[in-house]
Chains A and B, each alone.
Chain A
Amino acid sequence: MTRKLLTGNGAAALGARLAATDYIPAFPITPQTEIIETISGWIDQGEMDARMVTMESEHSMVTAAAAAAASGIRVFSATSSQGLLYGMEMLYTVSGWRAPFVLVNVSRGLASPITLEPDHNDIMSARDSGFLQIHCSTCQEVLDSTLMAFRLAEDERIRLPVIVNMDGFYLSFTREPVEVPDPKTAQNFVGDYDPENIRFRASSPVSQAVAVLGGVPYSYFRYETHLAAQNGLDVYDELSREFANQFGREYSAIEAYRCDDADIVFVMLGSFATKARAAVDQLRKAGNKVGLLRPRLLRPFPAEMFRMLLAGKSGVAVIDQNISMGMGGVLHSELAGALYGHPHAPPQLLSFIGGLGGRDISLEEFFEIADVTRNAVAQKHTPPPRLLYTEQELRQMRKLQAVASVERDELNNSGGAKNG
């Protein structure tokens, strides 16, 4: 095992290589492109025995990835934001093929307006697709999760594609020290892929992904896919213990940080959660019993584990880096669904929306979130959802608007006769 500096993209690429991936259908998109460039370089240098094919779209990329997996080989691919959405029809489609492969998504805000910086609306849109989802907060985790994802996807109790998610820029382009497992140990952990009877061979004809008529077969196939996804909870649990034994790093389905004796708990996904971690340390120093829960598995949703970890807490602040238009934070809704009606559920569940399009979340904001949550607990009153956005930011926005409106103002002043 060696320790070296790697970007999140580099870590993802290395994960694919260590897992002895056979095939990588690809399509470039910022901030993911470094992954496929890195792999392409290894293949060109003869360092990786795999084939990469650049498709003409993510829709085709996901199709080719799943078709290859359905033919019985190990497949890896990567995308981001608009690309994930362009491939969305196929995400939903191929999970039903029960063809396992690993897709890394580098989270980036969605158009419109188009942006390059991260938030989680892209990955949230894949929430119901049938892909399992692992969310990472460090470059180390990206590498380790990629290895685990192949095991999860290919397990006979699951056999579904898995997305490993990391934040654009904050992980994708950020170098951190990463422990790199030696190839043999990694390959031993991942093992060989046994496609069983879902594969194409001349001697055993199969018609895959056929149509159905009526709700009886449809309900059967869809619910089996759901049950397979649910199996992911137990399989993940086993897997993370095995991983910890072999590599010494433990990744439970929900990372609980200083939660045991906490009254107030932050809930957050992804790399921004390490900021929350720092805030927890500061809040603890100031004598506040605050903790952090960071789900690594979003699908399957570890509802029971959430209920257990949050039992008896007085207040929960969910900080969503996404927004469901007309509803609010997605994780907040999911958690409310998991907690509702349970006897030990925390009485206060607050919603904060922050970090949209890469907007930073300061330590002070976390302190304030803790304070607002504490007040809500004391007053037994839940405040409305809050967008993390300051007066100063709005002033800054006003300046931009003024610049953007100059021409309109000129037109108005000249009575619209500018070109006359």
Chain B
Amino acid sequence: MYRIRFHGRGGQGMKTASRILGTAFFLEGYEVQDAPRYGAERRGAPIFAYVRADNQLINERGVITRPDLVIVADDSLVPVPAAGVLTGVDEHTVLLINSDESTETWKHRLNLSCRVFTLPAEAEERAELRFIGATCTGAAARLLGKISRDALQQAIKQELSELGDAVIEKNLARALDAFDCMQEHEGCIQTGTEANATDYSKPAWIDFPFEDARVSAPDIHASANSVEVRTGLWRTLRPVIDYERCNKCWWVCSTFCPDGAIKVSGQTPEIDYNHCKGCMVCVAQCPPHAIEAVAEQLARQQDAEEEVSP
């Protein structure tokens, strides 16, 4: 059985990507499961979807814990533990990362013995993000080696039929490009070993302890501790204040920020990048246009460079 996991952010089309791959397998005669996994998080937050494909009935269900292929549509998620990109990844797993950085950089950075492939990251415009899924799926199909170009095309047409011909054409073009560029690695994905019933690691079950309601009620005895949740990781665009142009009026960006992530100290607004989700309301509303939207990836690279040469 093939076990494939897609990681991306809400709004990047991971569900659609998993469905395209699922349909493509199905068209090739496979038994298939595809499903998205939802949490409380919304657009921009890390989410994942998964596909299983086998030539016999699939009994396994739920989240894939030992993936054969992990597809990462947004490379900024890789180092985020909460995103769980690397969960269950071992030597047999193949990582396919949508990233401008090289395979070697990733291998080095992750210190993993598994194989890593990268796809060049896409244009930064948000409108383009919706094609990431198709691109990844095209590459994945070729790596798997069980899906023909035809089946891939047909699956994309089926799954995107409601979006109109223009969108389908764009997705097709990207998916097929990615499919073609993985030619030399065709069929490199190996299925993992199944758990076996004679030699397995025993679950360490406990005799569940009773704890009284002071502890065991679903209550939070804390005040505004949600600040520990770093929603800044959702961001693909970063608002950057040009303090020379800033009117020091502080009230506009700070008042309108849906997340309350712009604080004013003295007369100066400061954006809390740990929590800014990157909606860009401040960019749109700032009267003197003193806030600029910068691609998060670019901004991070600049941060890193500044750290090196202060």
Q: Which residues of B contact A231 (CB under 8 A)?
A: 210
Check A156–B218 contact: CB distance below 8 A. Answer: no
Interface presence of A120 (CB below 8 A): no
Contacting residues, chain B, for A208 (C-beta < 8 A): 217-219
- Stretch binding the partner chain, chosen from A217-225, A323-331, A390-398: A217-225
* A415: min CB distance to chain B, Å: 54
- Within A180-219, the residues touching B (CB, 8 Å) are 196-198, 204-213, 217
CB pair A198–B217 under 8 Å, yes or no, is yes
Is A98 an interface residue, CB under 8 A from the partner? yes
Task: Label chain B's interface by main secondary structure.
Answer: loop
Specify which of B40, B210, B219, B220 is in contact with A228 (CB 8 Å cutoff).
B210
CB distance from A197 to the nearest CB of B (A): 5
Interface residues of B in 192-231 (CB under 8 A from A): 208, 210-214, 216-223
Q: Which residues of A contact B213 (CB under 8 A)?
A: 98, 156, 159, 196, 198, 228
Residue of A nearest to B209 (CB): A227
A96 interface residue (CB < 8 Å to B): yes
Residues of chain B within 8 A (CB-CB) of A313 are: none
Q: Are A220 and B216 in contact (CB under 8 A)?
A: yes
Chain B residue at minimum C-beta to C-beta distance from A222 = B218
Instruction: Name the interface size band of chain A.
Output: 20 to 34
Q: Does A59 contact B (CB under 8 A)?
A: no
CB distance from B114 to the nearest CB of A (A): 26
> Would you give the 0/1 interface string for A398-409, flagging 1 where the beta carbon is closer than 8 Å to chain B?
000000000000
Q: How far is the CA of A223 from the CA of B210 in the complex (A)?
A: 9
CB distance from A234 to the nearest CB of B (A): 11
Contact B214 A224 (CB under 8 A): no
Can you name the residue of chain B whose Cβ is closest to the Cβ of A219?
A: B208
Contacting A196 at CB < 8 Å: which of B40, B214, B220, B222? B214
Known contacts: A213-B39, A220-B216, A224-B216. The answer to whether A197 contacts B221 by CB under 8 A is yes
CB distance from B174 to the nearest CB of A (A): 33
> Are A197 and B214 in touch, CB under 8 angstroms?
yes
Closest to B38 in A: A213
Least distance between A202 CB and chain B CB atoms (Å) = 12
**B residues less than 8 Å from A157 (CB atoms):** 210, 212
Indicate which residue in A206, A211, A223 contacts B219 across the interface (CB closer than 8 Å): A206
Asked whether any CB of chain B lies closer than 8 Å to the CB of A97, the reply is: yes
| Chain B residues positioned under 8 Å from A197 (CB to CB) | 214, 219, 221
Contacts of A196 on B, CB cut-off 8 Å? 213-214
Cross-chain contact of B40 among A98, A207, A213, A221 (Cβ < 8 A)? A213
Asked if A97 and B39 sit within 8 Å, CB to CB, the answer is no
Looking at chain A's contact residues, the main secondary structure is loop
Inter-chain CA distance A223–B216, complex, in Å, is: 10
List the A side residues contacting B223 at CB < 8 Å.
205
Tell me whether A206 and B220 are in contact in the complex, defined as CB-CB below 8 angstroms, given that A211-B40, A213-B39, A213-B40 are known contacts: yes
Contact of A204 with B221 at beta-carbon distance under 8 Å, contacts A198-B213, A223-B208 already known:
yes
Interface positions, chain B 157-190, Cβ under 8 Å from A, are: none
Instruction: Chain B residues near A212: list those with CB within 8 A.
Output: 218
- Distance between Cα atoms of A205 and B220 in the complex (Å): 9
Q: A204-B221, A213-B39 are in contact. Are A156 and B216 (CB under 8 A)?
A: no
Contacts of A204 in B (CB 8 A): 221
Residues of B within 8 A of A198 (CB): 213-214, 217, 219
Q: Which residues of A contact B222 (CB under 8 A)?
A: 205, 207
* Contact residues in A for B39 (Cβ distance below 8 Å): 213
Point out the residue from A213, A217, A224 that lies within 8 Å of B211, measured CB to CB. A224
- Shortest CB-to-CB span from B184 to chain A, Å, is 40
Knowing A227-B210, A231-B210 are in contact, say whether A206-B218 is a contact too (CB < 8 A).
Answer: no
B208 pairs with A206, CB closer than 8 A: no
Shortest CB-to-CB span from A78 to chain B, Å, is 24
B192 → chain A closest CB, angstroms: 23
Instruction: Report B181 CB to chain A, min CB distance, Å.
Output: 37
B212 and A210 within 8 A (CB): no
Q: Which residues of B contact A225 (CB under 8 A)?
A: 216
User: Which chain A residues (380-396) contact chain B, with CB distance < 8 Å?
Assistant: none
B208 touches A98 (CB 8 A): no
Whether B219 pairs with A156 at a CB distance below 8 angstroms is no
For the complex, give the distance between the alpha carbons of A217 and B39 in Å.
14
> 8 Å CB contacts to A: which residues of B17-58?
39-40
Nearest CB to that of A214 among chain B residues? B39
Q: Specify which chain A residues have a CB less than 8 angstroms from the CB of B210 in the assembled complex.
A: 157, 224, 227-228, 231
Q: A159-B213, A197-B214 are in contact. Are A210 and B208 (CB under 8 A)?
A: no
Would A98 and B217 count as touching, CB distance under 8 A? yes
**Across the interface, do A210 and B221 meet the contact criterion of CB distance under 8 Å?**
no
Nearest CB on A from B82, distance (A): 11
Whether B214 and A210, one on each chain, are in contact in the complex, defined by CB atoms closer than 8 angstroms, is no
Of the candidates A96, A159, A227, the one whose C-beta lies within 8 Å of that of B208 is: A227
Decide: A221 and B212 in contact? CB cutoff 8 A.
no
Q: How far is the CA of A198 from the CA of B221 in the complex (A)?
A: 9
Given the complex, which residues of B lie within 8 Å of A213, measured CB to CB? 39-40
User: Nearest residue in A to B219 (C-beta to C-beta)?
Assistant: A208
Q: A126-159: which have CB < 8 Å to B? A: 156-157, 159
CA distance A224 to B210 in the complex (A): 6
| Contact partners of B211 in chain A: CB under 8 A | 224
Query: Are A159's CB and B219's CB within 8 A?
Result: no
Docked-complex contact B214 and A221, CB < 8 angstroms: no
Closest CB in chain A relative to B84 CB, distance in Å? 12
Tell me the complex Cα distance, A204–B222, Å: 8
Q: CA separation between A306 and B222, bound complex, in Å?
A: 44
A contact residues around B219 at 8 Å (CB): 197-198, 206-210
Determine the chain A residues whose CB is within 8 A of the CB of B221 once the complex forms: 197, 204-206
Q: In the complex, A33→B288 CA distance in Å? A: 67
Contacts of B216 in A (CB 8 A): 98, 220-221, 224-225, 228
Residues on the A chain within 8 Å of B220, using CB: 206-207, 210
Most chain A CB within a 10 A radius of its CB, from B40, B217, B221: B217
Using CB atoms and an 8 Å cutoff, list the residues of chain B in contact with chain A.
Answer: 39-40, 208, 210-214, 216-223
A and B contact pairs by CB, cutoff 8 A, 5 listed: A159-B212, A205-B223, A206-B220, A207-B222, A231-B210
In order of increasing CB-CB distance, the 7 nearest A-B pairs are A224-B216, A98-B213, A159-B213, A98-B217, A207-B220, A227-B210, A208-B219
Add 11 more A-B contacts to A206-B219, A221-B218 (CB < 8 A).
A156-B213, A157-B210, A157-B212, A159-B213, A206-B220, A207-B220, A208-B217, A210-B218, A220-B216, A227-B208, A228-B213
